[in-house]
Structure 1
Amino acid sequence: MNPTAAVKLGGAAANQPPVTILGIDPGLNTSGYGVIRVQKGQFQLIEAGIVRSKAKAAIEDKLLEIHTGMTEILQQHRPDFMAIEQLFTHYSRPTTAILMGHARGVICLAAGSAGVPVKSFEPTRVKKVMTGNGHAPKSQMQLAVKLQLKLHEVPEPADIADALAIAICGFHLSHNPLLA
């Protein structure tokens, strides 16, 4: 995604020092990321993309690729904190939760190695903050991100939109005690 126009925020947010947030939608094959900066009450998209691992690679190779990609992003953007989706799963898919936990773990390790604090947010909380509906569909989340960041089009793939939503939510929940 290319950087775009900033979004004006009012109130106390306008008086806060600039903050850079890295949002992460963790995955073993594809992890979405989005870097936003909030300065003088305005959101600005800095960069967004995905970190991909090879689908048929051994798990240790996938985890190394994820860690390496995240380390590069952290070094390049030096965010004030990382906002990451909290692990969740349905009891019918415990293997998925374990694999996601591996990916999330190496992402958090990269942040810890870079000295970047990590804040975790439940997917339903992110959806509630972004849309008012804790069970909003992906299309509604993409539209909410497009509107909040004043993008010309919805961010795709959905992993990128989710990462940007997590970053935006991270800002709102960290800077607005009424939402926390």
Structure 2
Amino acid sequence: MARLPDSPDLLPKVIMGVDPGTQIMGYAVIEVRGQKVTVLRYDVIDMKKIGPNHALKLKRIFERMLELIDEFLPDELAIEAPFFGVNVQSMLKLGRAQGVAIAACLSRQIPYVEYAPTKVKQSVTGSGNATKEHVAHMLRQTLTLPPIEKASKFLDATDALAVALCHHYQKGNNVKAGGKSWGKFLADNPDKLAAPVASKKAPTKATTAVKAK
């Protein structure tokens, strides 16, 4: 008997979540198959040693994002919107960091969705006012996460993981590319369908552990 094709809901989808930052940027990569979520990696891009040169930090974000994209071949990017604070200069720098991360994904034809911090927290904990610690606790209850020695690094990574999980909970219905739906983007750019796409390679050893640095 011929094997029936897999249901679209059971086909694997890889989602990258990003929590923007100018000193520490959290990122996470999850694979979703139906309702099963597997954490492929969650970690941070540490830019503290780069010093005060903001341009070098943006360059590091762009290059590292491309490395992660080429390694995991995500289908979609979920990124947290900058939190509006009092310091205008800090907000400008944070917005640039977010923009560079988005630009890296768009350069690989990967659509993105932006989520407000309160939306992410509400999706994971049920409260838009949850603390980072509460978010991390709920993720431990939902997913299998190993303990990490450096709590600050762990919280930046789990924030990114929460963004990716929030996107999964939204069923990807809000996928956008430059403000348009992904389907509309492809309809407007039919040449993208003919572009060569790298085949997804299975990780040699999927891990949920944050790599030690």
Same fold (TM over 0.5): yes
Would you say the 8 A contact 2:50–2:56 is kept in 1?
no
Would you say the 8 A contact 1:24–1:163 is kept in 2?
yes
TM-score by length of 1: 0.84
Q: Distance in 2 between matches of 1:138 and 1:116?
A: 28
Between the two proteins, the alignment pairs up a number of residues equal to 164
What is the match of residue 89 of structure 2? 95
Deviation string, structure 1 residues 103-135 (Cα, Å, up to 9, x no partner): 111101100111111110000000011111100
User: Which consecutive aligned stretches of 4+ in structure 1 deviate over 6 angstroms post-superposition?
Assistant: none
In the alignment, does 2:25 pair up with 1:28? no
Between the two proteins, what is the percent identity of the paired residues? 30
In the alignment, does 2:133 pair up with 1:136? no
What is the match of residue 104 of structure 1? 98
Structure number with larger C-alpha Rg = 2
Q: 2:32 aligns with which of 27, 38, 50?
A: 38
Q: Distance in 2 between matches of 1:176 and 1:23?
A: 16
Give the AA of the match of 2:71.
Q
Structure 2: gaps (5+ residues): 1-6, 175-213
- Cα distance change on mapping 1:128 and 1:14 into 2, 3 Å: farther
What is the match of residue 174 of structure 1? 171
Give the AA of the match of 1:51.
I
Structure 1: gaps (5+ residues): 1-12
Tell me the C-alpha RMSD between the 2 structures: 2.1
- Cα distance change on mapping 1:175 and 1:28 into 2, 3 Å: closer
TM-score by length of 2: 0.71
In the alignment, does 2:66 pair up with 1:63? no
